[in-house]
Structure 1
Amino acid sequence: MHPVRELARLLLPVACPCGELDVRWCARCAALLAGPPVRVEHGAPRLDRLDGVRPVPVWALTPYTGPVRDVVVHWKDRGRADLDRLVAPSLRRAAAQLGPVLSAALRGAAVAVVPVPSTSAARRARSRDPVSVLARAVADGLHDAGVQARVVPALARRSSGRDQVGLGARARGRNLAGAVRMTRHGTRTLGQRSACILVDDVLTTGATLAAVERALEQDGHDVLGATVLAATPSPAAAPDPVARPPSALGEILVRT
């Protein structure tokens, strides 16, 4: 090992978020994000529209438990921007697997990749917007699959809404009521009607994605689905009968 690098590791030890030393991320944590995306909206009760239309399809790479939780927390809130090189390629691969279905459905049209907005307080605390990293990865993955995709940061959180961390399902819904709005840039860039894919880091109750979906639909746009890194398992949820690997993604756009 180079002497300077060895000294740096003594002063600033490198460790995986799970605790394994001398690696930025260990093979076990990397493997947790390497699998194919599966449907997870069944475990998010706040995605239920209560209007007879099926919830927006949401695809995740892994459950938000154990080491995955450690990775996401360190990546978002503990300054581990180096973990971009773990999470972004993982979501890019997943998006590439979703691409063929979107390509067939869009018939050559473009899709807007819309990151879920963070609060201004969260952005200041983190000095960056981690979800935008994921959105770029999703757009790149769709490009890899031949889909015309562009990142459009079309939405913003109103200042009245607080961060969702620590809130229960009902509190999340109340906190986000009217808290997501279209930006002028979003309205101008999306035009009159665009097909959109949402991107977030973690699916919990679905309240955030539901608020984003409403904001886009009220402006005349179509939300085709959402991709997230991980989803919180629902203890009351039965095993999902439609969760399946990307080789059978034909239902992604069937919501009625």
Structure 2
Amino acid sequence: MVAMRGWWRDLTDLVLPAECGGCGRARSVLCPRCRTALNGGAPRRVRPVPEPSGLPVVHAAARYADEVRAALLAHKERGVLALAAPLGAALAGAVRAGLREAGTGVGGLGPVRGRGPVLLVPVPSARRAVRTRGHDPARRIALAAAGELRRTGTSARVLAVLRQRYAVADQSGLGARQRLDNLAGALAVVPGGGRLLCGGGPVVLVDDLMTTGASLTEAARAVRAANRTVKSAVYPAVAGEGREERKTGPRMAGSNGGGGVIREAICAAVVAASPDSFEINRN
């Protein structure tokens, strides 16, 4: 009986955590104050400094600080899986903001017409981290975000097609340049994944957090490489882009797929980004 009570308590804590993931308030997955910190503001365009060459346009739902930081760490490191739903809702908001800015006719403005669903591609965690944590945080949040997008009228699906080609060093403690070097060439799209990416709608790289932008930059490189391999016209090659494109980063293709400026059908969205990255209009 005692063992049964312990098992039931563990199951209850999985479904309804003993405390708020943001502030520790009792018996709440995420209390109203912490939900406001996560979802209370409009998602914003974010840009790290220095900005890596090849980083897609990124939108974030919230600043990585205080309650938002605590909630992300609780989900990622402590396995508070019930937080995936509110974190996914925040990520869905950032995805919508990116799609609106890109002018795709989606992002809360209706479904993608004639191009297939929005494709959410999560940045994968290292295999050893997944084993240690028992789950892949970015993929779990992406699945919750796709469900939220579908619930609000935007067709979306998760394509977990990125894999690490080899083990990389722990990113903690590394500077921006070191992180880029550490991840260079580390990701690849699984065989057949490029065709899946080409056959859908806009591609949105997603992650729980952006600090230096190194992970999203490497993920974007891997997606572009896969699509060049299958000779797709959806993604233009990075080589030969002009100074302005290097400065502002890749932009998503319009829904008509022709005429005007040739743009890239890829952007990125994260739950949170470093506070400094929200100041994109600096000189």
User: TM-score per shorter chain, which class?
Assistant: 0.7 to 0.9
CA spacing shift, 1:27–1:144, aligned 2, 3 Å: closer
CA spacing shift, 1:193–1:216, aligned 2, 3 Å: farther
CA spacing shift, 1:146–1:23, aligned 2, 3 Å: closer
Write the distance in 1 (CA, Å) between the matches of 2:97 and 2:213: 23
Matched, 1:24 2:66: no
Q: CA RMSD in A?
A: 3.2
Write the distance in 2 (CA, Å) between the matches of 1:140 and 1:214: 27
CA spacing shift, 1:99–1:173, aligned 2, 3 Å: closer
CA spacing shift, 1:225–1:196, aligned 2, 3 Å: same
SS at match of 1:103: coil
CA spacing shift, 1:120–1:8, aligned 2, 3 Å: closer
Q: Which is further off, 127-136 or 67-76?
A: 127-136
1:150-161 to 2 correspondences below 5 Å: 150-161=157-168
Matched, 1:229 2:271: yes
1:92·1:138 contact (CA, 8 Å) conserved in 2? yes
Matched, 1:38 2:82: no
Q: Which is further off, 213-222 or 191-200?
A: 191-200
1:135-174 to 2 correspondences below 5 Å: 135-144=142-151, 146-174=153-181
Matched, 1:14 2:18: yes
SS at match of 1:112: strand
1:198·1:226 contact (CA, 8 Å) conserved in 2? yes
Tell me the equivalent position of 2:115: 109
CA spacing shift, 1:147–1:89, aligned 2, 3 Å: closer
Write the distance in 1 (CA, Å) between the matches of 2:42 and 2:188: 32
TM-score for the superposition, normalised by structure 1: 0.76
Tell me the equivalent position of 1:176: 183
Write the distance in 2 (CA, Å) between the matches of 1:124 and 1:145: 33
Name the amino acid aligned to 2:218.
Answer: A
1:38·1:60 contact (CA, 8 Å) conserved in 2? yes
Write the distance in 2 (CA, Å) between the matches of 1:87 and 1:193: 25
Matched, 1:56 2:96: no
Tell me the equivalent position of 2:245: none
TM-superposition CA deviations, 1:232-253 (whole Å, max 9, x none)? 123xx683349xxxxxxxxxxx
Identity %: 35
Write the distance in 1 (CA, Å) between the matches of 2:99 and 2:265: 15
Name the amino acid aligned to 1:63.
Answer: R
Write the distance in 2 (CA, Å) between the matches of 1:174 and 1:115: 21
SS at match of 1:82: helix
Deviation (angstroms), 1:169? 1.0
TM-score for the superposition, normalised by structure 2: 0.69
Write the distance in 1 (CA, Å) between the matches of 2:195 and 2:201: 11
Deviation (angstroms), 1:31? 0.7
SS at match of 1:164: coil
Which runs of no fewer than 5 residues in structure 2 stay unpaired?
228-234, 236-263
Tell me the equivalent position of 1:250: none
1:51-130 to 2 correspondences below 5 Å: 55-96=55-96, 101-103=103-105, 108-110=114-116, 111-130=118-137
Deviation (angstroms), 1:179? 0.5
**Paired residue total:** 229
1:115·1:198 contact (CA, 8 Å) conserved in 2? yes
Which runs of no fewer than 5 residues in structure 1 stay unpaired?
50-54, 243-256
CA spacing shift, 1:22–1:113, aligned 2, 3 Å: closer
